[in-house]
Amino acid sequence: MTFTQSPWSLTDLFSSHDSPEMKAAFDEIDGMVVESEALRPSLSPSMPQEAFLDAIRLLEAISRLANRIVDFAGLGFAADTQDQVIQAFQSDVESRMAIIANRTLFFSLWWKSLEDIEAERLMTGSGDYRYWLEEIRHFKPHTLTEPEEKIINIKDVTGSAAINNLYAMITNRYTFHIEVDGESKELTRGELMVYARHYDPALRAAAYQELYRVYGQDAPILGQMYQTLVRDWHNENLDLRHFRSPLAVRNLSNDIPDDVVDTLLGVCQDNISVFQRFFRLKARWLQLEQLRRYDIYAPVIKTEKKYDFAAAADMVFEAFHRFDPRIANLAQRVLDQNHLDSEVRRGKMSGAFCATVAPEITPWVLVNYQEKPDDVATLAHELGHAIHSQLAADHSLFTFHSSLPLAETASTFGEMLLVDHLLRTESDASVRQTMLFRQVDDAYATVMRQAYFAMFERQAHELVQQGATVDELSNVYLENLHNQFGDAVEVSDEFRWEWVSIPHIYQTPFYVYAYTFGQLLVLSLYKQFKIEGEAFKPRYLSLLSAGGSKSPEKILSDAGIDMHNAGFWQGGMDVIRGLVEQLETIPLAK
């Protein structure tokens, strides 16, 4: 079968934004919202089970239709970000959906207000909805009275949310200037950071120096914003809502026990020498005495190899098929139904993603395929996401989507299947070596870098409470980098401002450890696959099929994995060490 490239088709959702079907969908959703509001008075702790389920099914139907409309707009925008008609449609959809969300909010508020014993009775017969219902109630012990919650909501708009908006506004306006081939360029951050992976060491250094020159200039303001957000986090979550620690707030929304995160971060700290060893190896490849922080993503091998799209698709499907024909078929469905947009086009959104609309609809995948080995890996990654949601299609709309810590499982695993396939079949040694280096580069960026961000956050939240200044926080950050890199990497002073350039630590405190969790989980699973072979496959497939219908802890323990056990996480680290050892055996060909 020869696969070709074309823009995707959205007709499985709607024929167009102004079609009669779209109008009918809006009417239908309005009708259902009115119907659900009418059910409101019948909600009571003693209501019949069937009526309770009917109310949930109605909410599910509303969400399903809302998803179809929202994703039609979002995918249309991604396919052509310059299309003003779709832009206008998208903002109209957004405001209509916000109203719908407000009008249906009463259900979760009521559900949280029930006593445990009352909720338990209703949950007993709730089947696949159960975990979704449980999750809403997780926040009950930390929920305040309705008037208090309202005050927090109102004050957040002009408080923490406003500070986050200001942070985004200030930093998104930044422009960066560097000289490339004698020509002065004005760049966005994204464009600038391309040079962090450039062959030229002077350009790599210039890119980072310019990045932190600009952020450093505003550091007193940006640092003050961070301190304010951290204090707000503490005041609200520890003083008012009685969480045990700043980190525990995030752990509850991820539904990951506190001790698991401590174990995970501890294993990272214990294995820091693996990456330091990799950085020393990289220095040798780059013929440097010592690697500079500027060089950690430097390419070490030049590869000219290109794969046309048909060859790439064949490779990905072959790699998947070898593992299990079922997953290859699910990936192929995305192409067969014309749900993949892979070509590079003017106005099309950059990057790559997989969009899952509802369990019964094949997901849509966007990539910008440019024939490099990296692009093949990205294709495998995004199709992996599509496999994951299709495997979980038997669940409800509320429970088929995997939770954040497990969301990258099938994608990263799919990428590893592809890399393995390439290492086995590709005769060009430069491609094989590029893929190996890429894997460890990615593991650093996803596992270790994020773990150390989380450790910095933990420390910073404590220090801000003790009145630390912005300069003191920067010193602590620099120390964090020195602990991370040891004597393997020279860290120059401007990196003290790196933390004020990380939006995640502002907008979603402690979000970053989910990356560490996800990537180490997959590496560890991959190790089990290598050891167990066939016996591993059904356990892995049922882990994916669970979607988000159970807690991450339960999903993993059903697959025989104890996330409390440091040994499990160490298994992931062992895979990285194995890759580094493999790289160490390659003779330096210069």
Query: Cβ-count burial of 472 within 10 angstroms (0-12 exposed, 13-18 middle, 19+ buried)?
Result: middle
Q: Looking at beta carbons only, is 73 or 410 nearer to Zn ion?
A: 410
Task: Output the smallest distance, CB 267 to Zn ion, in A.
Answer: 22
Q: Looking at beta carbons only, is 33 or 522 nearer to Zn ion?
A: 522
Please give the helix or strand (H or E) that residue 488 lies within, else none.
none
Task: Output the smallest distance, CB 381 to Zn ion, in A.
Answer: 6
Under the binding rule (CB under 5 A), the answer on residue 271 touching Zn ion is: no
Q: Looking at beta carbons only, is 352 or 476 nearer to Zn ion?
A: 352
Q: What is the rounded CA–CA span in Å between residue 55 and residue 42?
A: 10
Q: Which stretch binds Zn ion (CB under 5 A): 7-15, 225-233, 273-281, 404-412?
A: 404-412
Q: Of the candidates 248, 271, 292, 155, which has an alpha carbon nearest to the alpha carbon of residue 567?
A: 271
- Segment 20 to 49, residues that bind Zn ion, using CB under 5 A: none
Are 80 and 86 in contact, with CB atoms under 8 Å apart?
A: yes
Upper half-sphere CA count for residue 121 (Cβ side, 13 Å):
12
Please give the helix or strand (H or E) that residue 176 lies within, else none.
strand 176-180
Are 53 and 121 in contact, with CB atoms under 8 Å apart?
A: no
- Segment 422 to 481, residues that bind Zn ion, using CB under 5 A: none
Question: How would DSSP label each residue in 367-399?
Answer: ----SSHHHHHHHHHHHHHHHHHHHTTTS-TTT
Q: Which stretch binds Zn ion (CB under 5 A): 48-56, 152-160, 407-415, 574-582?
A: 407-415
Residue 283 C-alpha from the chain's centroid: 30
Per DSSP, the three-state class of 120 is helix
- Segment 214 to 243, residues that bind Zn ion, using CB under 5 A: none
Q: How big is the CA angle at 393 (ends 392 and 395), to the nearest 5 degrees?
A: 80
Task: Output the smallest distance, CB 352 to Zn ion, in A.
Answer: 8
Task: Output the smallest distance, CB 186 to Zn ion, in A.
Answer: 31
Under the binding rule (CB under 5 A), the answer on residue 403 touching Zn ion is: no
Q: Which stretch binds Zn ion (CB under 5 A): 96-104, 253-261, 411-419, 553-561?
A: 411-419
Task: Output the smallest distance, CB 412 to Zn ion, in A.
Answer: 7
Amino acid at 207: A
Q: Looking at beta carbons only, is 332 or 411 nearer to Zn ion?
A: 411
Task: Output the smallest distance, CB 411 to Zn ion, in A.
Answer: 4
Q: Looking at beta carbons only, is 351 or 567 nearer to Zn ion?
A: 351
Task: Output the smallest distance, CB 110 to Zn ion, in A.
Answer: 35
Task: Output the smallest distance, CB 408 to Zn ion, in A.
Answer: 5
Q: Looking at beta carbons only, is 411 or 480 nearer to Zn ion?
A: 411
Amino acid at 344: V
Amino acid at 128: D
Q: How many residues bind Zn ion (CB under 5 A)?
A: 1
Task: Output the smallest distance, CB 275 to Zn ion, in A.
Answer: 22
Q: Looking at beta carbons only, is 229 or 365 nearer to Zn ion?
A: 365
Interaction pattern, residues 175-214, with Zn ion; x per rule: CB under 5 A: ----------------------------------------
The DSSP secondary-structure symbol of 560 reads T
Query: Which sign, positive or negative, has the C-alpha torsion 576, 581, 587, 590?
Result: positive
Are 528 and 538 in contact, with CB atoms under 8 Å apart?
A: no
Question: How would DSSP label each residue in 130-141?
Answer: HHHHHHHHTTGG
Q: Looking at beta carbons only, is 389 or 411 nearer to Zn ion?
A: 411
Under the binding rule (CB under 5 A), the answer on residue 402 touching Zn ion is: no
Q: Looking at beta carbons only, is 276 or 411 nearer to Zn ion?
A: 411
Task: Output the smallest distance, CB 537 to Zn ion, in A.
Answer: 22
Q: Which stretch binds Zn ion (CB under 5 A): 238-246, 267-275, 312-320, 410-418?
A: 410-418
Q: What are the beta bridge partners of residue 187?
A: 176
Task: Output the smallest distance, CB 38 to Zn ion, in A.
Answer: 41
Are 250 and 487 in contact, with CB atoms under 8 Å apart?
A: no
Under the binding rule (CB under 5 A), the answer on residue 411 touching Zn ion is: yes
Q: Looking at beta carbons only, is 207 or 443 nearer to Zn ion?
A: 443
Q: What is the rounded CA–CA span in Å between residue 554 and residue 543?
A: 10
The answer for residues whose C-beta is within 8 angstroms of residue 360's C-beta and 6 or more apart is 393
Q: What is the rounded CA–CA span in Å between residue 422 and residue 413?
A: 14
Task: Output the smallest distance, CB 195 to Zn ion, in A.
Answer: 24
Q: Which stretch binds Zn ion (CB under 5 A): 240-248, 403-411, 425-433, 445-453?
A: 403-411
Q: Looking at beta carbons only, is 411 or 549 nearer to Zn ion?
A: 411
Q: Looking at beta carbons only, is 237 or 411 nearer to Zn ion?
A: 411
The CB-nearest residue to Zn ion is 411
Query: Which tokens go with 122?
Result: 């209703």
Q: Which stretch binds Zn ion (CB under 5 A): 2-10, 239-247, 408-416, 496-504?
A: 408-416
Query: Which tokens go with 425?
Result: 């079949």
Q: Looking at beta carbons only, is 402 or 484 nearer to Zn ion?
A: 402
Are 42 and 106 in contact, with CB atoms under 8 Å apart?
A: no
Q: What is the rounded CA–CA span in Å between residue 439 and residue 579?
A: 8
Task: Output the smallest distance, CB 354 to Zn ion, in A.
Answer: 7
Q: What is the rounded CA–CA span in Å between residue 297 and residue 269?
A: 21
Task: Output the smallest distance, CB 415 to Zn ion, in A.
Answer: 9
Q: Looking at beta carbons only, is 67 or 411 nearer to Zn ion?
A: 411
Please give the helix or strand (H or E) that residue 15 lies within, else none.
none
Query: Which tokens go with 321?
Result: 């098929």
Q: What is the rounded CA–CA span in Å between residue 217 and residue 411?
A: 39
Q: Which stretch binds Zn ion (CB under 5 A): 55-63, 182-190, 266-274, 406-414?
A: 406-414
Rg, the chain, Cα only: 25
In the block, tokens 């079922």 appear at: 326
Q: Looking at beta carbons only, is 25 or 334 nearer to Zn ion?
A: 334
Q: Which stretch binds Zn ion (CB under 5 A): 191-199, 366-374, 409-417, 480-488?
A: 409-417
Task: Output the smallest distance, CB 385 to Zn ion, in A.
Answer: 6
Q: Which residues contact Zn ion by CB under 5 A?
A: 411
